[in-house]
Amino acid sequence: MWKRLIIGLIFVIALLTLTAIMLDRWISWKTAPYIFDDLRQLPEREVGMVLGTSKYYKTGTYNQYYLYRIQGAVNAYNSGKVKYLLLSGDNAQHNYNEPVTMRKDLIKYGVPASNIVMDFAGFRTLDSIVRTRKVFDTNDFTIITQRFHCERALFIAMHLGIEAQCYAVSSPKNMMTIRFREILARLGALTDLYILKREPRFLGPLMPIPTLHTIPTELQGYPAVSPEELQELEKKSRGKNKSGEQFKTEEEPIK
Inside any domain, residue 165:
yes
Inside any domain, residue 236:
no
Q: What is the pLDDT of residues 1-26, one digit of tens each?
A: 788 888 889 999 999 999 999 999 99
For the CA atoms of 137, 139, 140, 141, what is the dihedral angle to 10 degrees? Answer: 60
Inside any domain, residue 13:
no
Instruction: Provide the pLDDT for residue 128.
Output: 96
Query: Can you give the residue range of the structural domain that contains 178?
Result: 34-195
* CATH code of the domain covering residue 190: 3.40.50.620
Inside any domain, residue 113:
yes
Predicted TM-score of the model (pTM): 0.83
For the chain, how many structural domains are there in total? 1
**Alpha-carbon torsion 221, 109, 211, 54, what sign?**
negative
Inside any domain, residue 249:
no
Q: What is the pLDDT of residues 41-61, one digit of tens each?
A: 999 999 999 999 999 888 888
Q: What is the pLDDT of residues 138-174, one digit of tens each?
A: 999 999 999 999 999 999 999 999 999 999 999 988 7
